[in-house]
Amino acid sequence: MTTKFRLLALALIVAIFSVQCTQAGSDIPDYPTSVESHFTAGLFSYEGVDIKYQEATIQAQTTAPTALVVVLHGQTSSGSDNKSQIRHDAMIRIWHNLTQGNNKAIILAPQCTTSRSWDETAEKVKSTTMPQALKALIDDYVLKQTSIDRSRIYILGYSDGARPAGAGGVWRMLSDYPGLFAAGMTVAADPDQTIVVENVATSAILSVKGETDVHAVAQSLDTFADQVRDAGGVIKEIVLNFRSREELCREAFSAENLEWLLQYNQSK
């Protein structure tokens, strides 16, 4: 009798625990596991540099003009397959949250080869740099996609490895091409000493870092952020505590953060 009672009590506890877990998990967004079917591949060539890219159009029930969201992947997605950059969890979050947020936008996701980097400078590369080729791609894309609002071009990037990669590329693009982007978002990379504060300050900036990230320490973000504000710019800093860069890059692109970014327009 005692054994039956214990088994019954144990079953009851398990049932209650299962219900609590289900209720706790009900608030977790139902993210897709793949977004590849929503993207179309493309190729752009500029002065000897070929950039493979993927594009996805997000429709929305709004009369607002179309925004262009350029996403620069991290180190682990570098290559030439033109697939890895849209298979990363960060891209899945970006696509899902933009779609659920009723945003009328086009996502442009180029891929950088393993021998190049998004944050190249003319001093390091004697030929055409990746930022130069990327700028040409954006100009060409906007020219052909006439629905895009030129005042609503955004650039997002993340770094999931030891190199600055995508986030470093965002800092480079904001510095080299002031006035082009309404806002930029960097995840897991500080700006280095070559980034021009006054140029970066022409775009709103959202910068997300890990609390214990040992790689993103090229320059104190707090000091740089103060300089941006002194130059009249807008910058928001977020520090998150996550176990890995992979997790940080995934969670950084929340619906709330993307909404903050997309509120800004670039005044020409």
**Domain for residue 104, yes or no?**
yes
**Domain for residue 19, yes or no?**
no
pLDDT for 156 equals: 98
**Domain for residue 174, yes or no?**
yes
**Domain for residue 222, yes or no?**
yes
Q: Give 223-230's long-range contacts (Cβ < 8 A, gap of 24+).
A: 224/190, 224/191, 224/195, 224/197, 227/197, 228/197, 228/200, 228/201
Looking up residue 117, the CATH number of its domain turns out to be: 3.40.50.1820
Q: Do the Cβ atoms of 94 and 69 come closer than 8 Å?
A: yes
pLDDT for 4 equals: 55
Q: Do the Cβ atoms of 186 and 171 come closer than 8 Å?
A: yes
Average the pLDDT over 53-79 and give the result.
92
Average the pLDDT over 149-175 and give the result.
91
Structure tokens at 119: 């944050």
Residues of the chain with pLDDT > 90, as a percent, come to 65
pLDDT for 194 equals: 92
Other beta carbons within 10 Å of 25:
8
**Domain for residue 97, yes or no?**
yes
Domain span at 201:
38-262
**Domain for residue 29, yes or no?**
no
Look at the chain and report how many structural domains it folds into.
1
Average the pLDDT over 11-27 and give the result.
38
**Domain for residue 3, yes or no?**
no
**Domain for residue 4, yes or no?**
no
Q: Tell me the pLDDT tens digit for each residue of 125-150.
A: 888 999 999 999 999 999 999 999 99
pLDDT for 13 equals: 43
